[in-house]
């Protein structure tokens, strides 16, 4: 698998055990198969960066794909709940977080590699709206495709870190790529604001329905 990692520096050999605990999937090495997205995340405003290129040998590695048909958007959200800080400012969001954590929990930490959605700030706010009852499961799923941020691939285990090989790095200009990064986020927010979040569709499921009906992860309506 060819992977890309955007950074303010060249990362010749990723270090197992490094990184932040509060990233989407916890501590790990975050990559993407999308070269353009990696370039956007290599830079900050007025700060140039590097596109790091790798090959990952998947033979013998276990991989969980949270976007495969056996999982729904709420499995991904539950992983996010374990690693990112959510404002629990309503009784509904607190009850929803507790229930999802119990009923949609995945054993993602048992895998060497994780593939799943990316949750930058705009996407994180979509998840908060769902927990506060503002949007349905259907609308949350649709929102996750806005702006086309795509998915990320995360190395979690020492075994996975031993299987990644550095190929090269390329300089990335902030002047060119930071505006593209900002535009992608702005596009997602603009598309989300234009969504008719008040439009009800027959069969829509909100966090209140999940709690009241005690909907479980195997419910076909969530697929």
Mean pLDDT, range 23-45, rounded to an integer: 92
Q: Are 28 and 19 spatial neighbours (Cβ–Cβ below 8 Å)?
A: yes
Mean pLDDT, range 25-33, rounded to an integer: 92
Mean pLDDT, range 42-66, rounded to an integer: 96
Cα(105)–Cα(108) distance, integer angstroms: 9
Domain count for the chain: 1
Strand partners, 56: 164
109 by DSSP, 3-state: which? Answer: helix
Cα(155)–Cα(138) distance, integer angstroms: 29
Could you read off the pLDDT of 109-145 as tens digits, one per residue? 899 999 988 766 666 778 888 999 989 999 888 877 7
* Percentage above 70 pLDDT, the chain: 92
DSSP tag of 17: T
Res 82 pLDDT > 90: no
Whole-model pTM? Answer: 0.85
Confidence of residue 212 (pLDDT cuts 50, 70, 90): very high
The candidate with the shortest Cα–Cα distance to 31, out of 121, 176, 154, is 154
Q: Outline where DSSP puts E strands in 123-210.
A: 151-155, 164-172
Res 156 pLDDT > 70: yes
The candidate with the shortest Cα–Cα distance to 169, out of 47, 2, 5, is 5
The residue range of the domain holding 110 is 2-222
């Amino acid at each position: 698998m060819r992977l890309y990692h955007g950074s303010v520096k060249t990362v010749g050999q990723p270090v197992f055990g490094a990184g932040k605990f509060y990233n989407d999937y916890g501590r790990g090495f975050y990559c993407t198969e999308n070269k353009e997205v990696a370039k956007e995340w290599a830079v900050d405003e007025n700060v140039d960066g590097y596109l790091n290129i790798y090959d990952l040998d998947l033979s013998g590695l276990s991989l969980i794909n949270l976007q495969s048909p056996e999982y729904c958007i709420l499995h991904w959200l539950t992983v996010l709940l374990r690693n990112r800080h959510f404002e629990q400012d309503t009784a509904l969001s607190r009850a929803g977080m507790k229930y999802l954590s119990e009923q949609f929990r995945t054993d993602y930490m048992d895998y060497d590699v994780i593939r799943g959605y990316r949750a930058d700030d705009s996407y994180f706010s979509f998840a908060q709206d769902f927990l506060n009852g503002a949007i349905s499961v259907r609308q949350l799923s649709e929102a996750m495709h806005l702006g086309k941020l795509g998915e990320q691939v995360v190395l979690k285990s020492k075994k996975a870190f031993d299987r990644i090989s550095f190929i090269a790095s390329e300089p990335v200009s902030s002047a060119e790529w930071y505006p593209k990064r900002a535009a992608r986020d702005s596009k997602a927010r603009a598309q989300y604001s234009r969504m008719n979040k008040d439009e009800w569709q027959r069969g829509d499921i909100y966090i209140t329905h999940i709690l009241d009906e005690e909907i479980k992860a195997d419910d076909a309506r969530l697929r």
